[in-house]
Structure 1
Amino acid sequence: MLLPFATDGGSGAGGFVGPNIGEFFPPVVLFADTPFELNRLMLIRVITTLVIVLVFWLGTRNLKIVPGRGQSIIEWGLDFVRVGIAEDLLGKKDGRRFLPILTTFFFMILAMNLTGAVPGFNLAGTSVIGVPLLLAAIAYVTWIYAGLRKHPGKFLRNALFPPGVPWYFYIIVTPIEILSTFIVRPVTHVLRLLMNMIVGHILLVLFFLATSFFFIEAPGFFKLFGVGTLALGFAFTLFELLVAVLQAYIFTILTAVYIQLALADEH
């Protein structure tokens, strides 16, 4: 994390320093100057992935007809994705078919989003473009595959040349369809998740750095402003937890919507 103040040329003059882009590119902490070097963000991603695997392994290794507390929580989470997203949008057959990828998206994004509010981590695993870009690319390939598999002869044709449109309008319609469906859609899928996590992190860092500055550096009466920034920091932490859940849900449900559109009989 950044320090709440900085010295000015060694003169001892303090000043508030807000968050900057360097927050998202921390220094290397392991295996420096090798192909396997890791910084704090990469460690967060590795640890989060291991935690997800461990939680699901512990929750499902001893499945019982009458589930215990751990199994109940796991089953509730899996049913939320299965019933509330996959089967609701895709139906039972296609919902079960695409359930593994939708479940992976939801829990991976949720866990990596939540690390932004975990003390010691303080940085979401999805706040740098690598993970959102990878997941959006997988979603992109999946819905195109679904469309080509279901409608091999007409998926791309109908996507680029919508039926019922006079042929001379295709000069305008086709470039718009290429841009909106095959370029804008995956780009917005990436940016929606990425930018929410970036903004959330910057706000939290700003409030807590300001709190530290007011309590430690500010003179006299100005220290009282630290109470306000601390309260805002706490409120935005709760809001960030809500955003973490919502973004996992939105990314997953949009993936399901795109697959549904690819499978639709209109193609």
Structure 2
Amino acid sequence: MTPLTLPAEDSGAFTPPTLEDMHLPAIFPWGAHEGFSKQMLMVLLSVVFIAWFFIAASRKGQLVPGKLQFAGEYLYGFVRNSIGKDIIGGKDFMKFVPLLFALFFFILVNNIYGAIPFFQLPTMSHVGGAYFLAALVYVTWIGVGLKKFGARFLKLTVVPAGVPWYILPIVVPIEIISNFIVRPMTHSLRLFATMLAGHLVVALAGSGIAFLIAQESVVLKGTSLLVLVGATAMYMLEALIMVLQAYVFTLLTAIYIQGALHADAH
């Protein structure tokens, strides 16, 4: 058996973390590979936490808000004005604020889990959650367009205004693929891939530090400090990306809704 085929514990080789390391055993299993997992528990806890925070922040409305009320009003105002009103427009935005609000804070909390000790797992690093949210948005903006324009919305979506008729055989298939296939896929995969990649990098750095510290060489032990500095920087960058991805996902949702509402202006 060559050294390349020896197990890590026999050869002393570094064993990097894998995707399987991010799928923890089910808390309450009900099948060979199924059960109530840590990820599911964290998703439920995020809903409880978000509901508790904003109910507590709005329970005692005061003219001069306290810290909790101020934080709740500021966060709500950010989604309402900076995403809803600025993107969708002052005439139609209010009816979509609950959706934008729920999406932003649900994604934010489930992303931030990855930066919190003990939780240490952004639930959106599992593609199922990202697919579900993207599918919800997909159905929403198409429904908004159909409600306003009827079946004509489908034509407005795939036939850009002002395009010569002889170019339409090329443009229409591209628009169909772009709007109805690529858009929901990129909407979900952007969130999932960034959360998964960032968490894997941090996990890889952590495993590397543990491996270097366990070595007998003083040089390798000292190298672990450099890896720690890099891992700290990556940790902070991942935390920033967690917030940005919640914002980007919600912003794109508002853009898609705005496009559906004004499809006849394109």
Q: Same fold (TM over 0.5)?
A: yes
Q: Is the 8 A contact 2:28 2:35 kept in 1?
A: yes
Partner of 2:14: 16
Q: Against the structure 1 CA distance between its residues 9 and 83, is the aligned structure 2 distance closer, same or farther, given a 3 Å change threshold?
A: closer
RMSD over aligned CA atoms reads 2.0
Matched residue, 1:3: none
- Higher mean C-alpha displacement, 29-38 vs 56-65: 29-38
Partner of 1:100: 98
Written as runs of structure 1 = structure 2, the 5 A alignment for 1:1-267 is: 8=7, 11=10, 13-33=11-31, 37-264=35-262, 265-266=264-265
Distance (Å, rounded) in 1 between the aligned partners of 2:129 and 2:8:
38
Check conservation: 1:89, 1:256, Cα contact below 8 A.
yes
Equivalent position SS for 2:178: helix
Give 3-state SS (helix, strand or coil) of 1:45's partner: helix
Distance 1:43 1:21, change over 3 A: same
Whether the 8 Å contact between 2:26 and 2:34 is mirrored in structure 1 is no
Greater share of helix: 2
Distance 1:173 1:27, change over 3 A: same
TM-score when normalising by structure 1:
0.91
Q: Name which of structure 1's ranges 246-255 and 88-97 shifts more when overlaid on structure 2.
A: 88-97
- Structure 1 residue 78: deviation in Å? 0.4
Q: How many residue pairs end up in the alignment?
A: 260
User: 2:243 is aligned with what amino acid?
Assistant: V
SS at match of 2:125: coil
SS of residue matched to 1:217: coil
Q: Per-residue displacement from partner, 1:130-168 (whole Å, max 9, x unpaired)?
A: 111111111111111111122225211122223333333
* SS class of match (1:63): coil
Q: Which amino acid aligns with 1:90?
A: I
2: CA distance, partners of 1:247 / 1:78: 18
Question: Does the C-alpha gap of structure 1 residues 36 and 100 become closer, same or farther in structure 2, counting only changes over 3 Å?
Answer: farther
Structure 2, gaps ≥5 residues long: 1-5
Separation in 2, partners of 1:145, 1:9 = 53
1:24–1:41 Cα contact (<8 Å) kept: no
Partner-residue secondary structure (3-state), 1:92: coil
Distance 1:41 1:137 in 2: 20
2-structure distance, mates of 1:227, 1:78: 41
Give the conservation status (yes or no) of the 8 Å contact 1:114–1:244: yes
Q: Is the 8 A contact 1:106 1:252 kept in 2?
A: yes
Task: State the match for 2:3 in structure 1.
Answer: none
Superposition TM-score, scaled by structure 2 size: 0.91
- String of CA shifts for 1:159-207, please: whole Å, max 9, x gaps: 2223333333222111111101111011000111010001100010011
